[in-house]
Amino acid sequence: MLNLLRKSGVRKELGRSLEHQIIARARAPRFFSGFRVPDTMDGRFDMVTLHAWLVLVRLQAAGDSQAAQALTDALFVGFDEALREQGVSDMGMGRRMKAMANAFYGRLAAYGAAATDEEMAEALARNVWRGAVVDDHARALAAYVQSARKALAASPPQAPDFGPLP
């Protein structure tokens, strides 16, 4: 029984560590100034989701489903805490978390289905800029995604390195 609890604690710590690394990169001012991602709750959610997708793809490629689940769990705990800090009551929490989960998994599916840079730019324009036409910002962010995927592939799965910011 104690081994199970110890493993659970290690798994949670790994999830939190990955979450912190993702949030640190997702909050880089370059995304909000250079790429013109809206500096709103939605824009920040989109950057966290994009970087979470990148790390989840890397963890899945490494066959580390437990780390992927730990990361997902940590992210949703973080989403829950963020909503509570904004004053969302317990009565509205279930509905809000369901909407966030639908948005999160919808974005993961859209990014995963993008086979080309142009398709990735379209998925980003649709999600990050809420249906805007594909422009230079969406194409630049799509190029960043490809660059980050290459950097992540060369880094250890549980210590993600997104590479340099463009």
Contacts of 138 (CB under 8 A, 6+ apart): 121, 122, 124, 125, 128, 129, 132
Written as six digits, the tokens of 157 are: 């799965």
Handedness of CA 28, 32, 38, 39 (dihedral sign): positive
CA-CA distance, 158 to 140, in Å (whole number)? 27
Q: Tens of pLDDT along 109-145? A: 999 999 999 999 999 999 999 988 999 999 999 999 9
Q: Tens of pLDDT along 18-65? A: 999 999 999 999 999 999 999 999 999 999 999 999 999 999 999 999
